[in-house]
């Protein structure tokens, strides 16, 4: 077995110049491909995610994909563009999180989004949003339209909420004020509960 080369104390305390990232970028066939500064700036101006508890990681991914997929280049897959561009969409705590992952540990877009959602949308957060949806009720002085929009926002914030259309309609109906339930029943020509959800 070969012996390890002798190292001086200076060798141990000198910072390494071998800096790697957590993302292994897929190879590209295009020789002239590069992320243009304008694209990076567009991502930073429109889809920046900082890792704050109030931010919506699902909305971030949706907006990021919309921007990233607007770039087309022969010989470059959408996955290659997304993986190269994604770090530019992060700042603050989110950048620290990505940099803290083991070197070369992310080899696909699927892996990257899974790790991102595991960090910023853990099961407990999803369960909390599902509970908020289940316990939905119209605010005093809130119009029917505003209540519906608020429920829709909650549903969008947890795309894998698991509620079927009929359940969502029941949650809305039961969460409305008696006056607005009456408005809906009148518009339906009788109790909404006697109607099919379609």
pLDDT tens-digit profile of 113-132?
Answer: 999 999 999 999 999 999 99
Q: pTM (2 decimals)? A: 0.78
Domain residue limits, the chain: 30-120, 123-194
CB count in 10 Å sphere of residue 137: 13
Q: What is the mean pLDDT of residues 15-29?
A: 81
Encode pLDDT of 24-81 as tens digits.
988 888 888 888 999 999 999 988 999 999 999 999 999 999 999 999 888 899 999 9
DSSP string, 39-66: HHHHHHHHS-B---TTS-HHHHHHHHHH
Q: Which of 99, 148, 154 is nearest to 128 (CA)?
A: 154
Pair of tokens at residue 192: 């909404």
Please give the Cα distance from 70 to 182 (Å, whole number). 46
CA dihedral over 56, 61, 62, 64, signed as positive or negative:
positive
């Amino acid at each position: 077995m070969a012996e390890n080369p002798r190292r001086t104390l200076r060798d141990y305390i000198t910072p390494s110049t071998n800096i790697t990232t957590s993302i292994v970028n897929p190879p590209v066939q295009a020789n002239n491909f590069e992320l243009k500064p304008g694209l990076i700036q567009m991502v930073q101006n429109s889809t920046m995610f900082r890792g704050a508890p109030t931010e919506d990681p699902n909305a971030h991914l949706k907006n990021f994909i919309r921007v990233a997929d607007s770039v087309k280049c022969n010989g470059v897959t959408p996955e290659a563009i997304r993986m190269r561009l994604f770090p530019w969409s992060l700042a603050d705590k989110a950048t620290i999180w990505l940099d803290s992952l083991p070197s070369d540990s992310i080899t696909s877009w699927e892996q990257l989004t899974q790790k991102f959602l595991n960090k910023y949308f853990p099961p407990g957060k999803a369960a909390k949003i599902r509970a908020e949806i289940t316990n939905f009720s119209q605010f005093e002085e809130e119009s029917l339209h505003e209540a519906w929009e608020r429920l829709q926002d909650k549903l969008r914030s947890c795309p894998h909420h698991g509620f079927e259309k009929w359940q969502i309609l029941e949650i809305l109906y039961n969460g409305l004020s008696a006056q607005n339930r009456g408005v809906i029943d009148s518009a339906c020509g009788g109790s909404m509960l006697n109607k099919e959800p379609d």
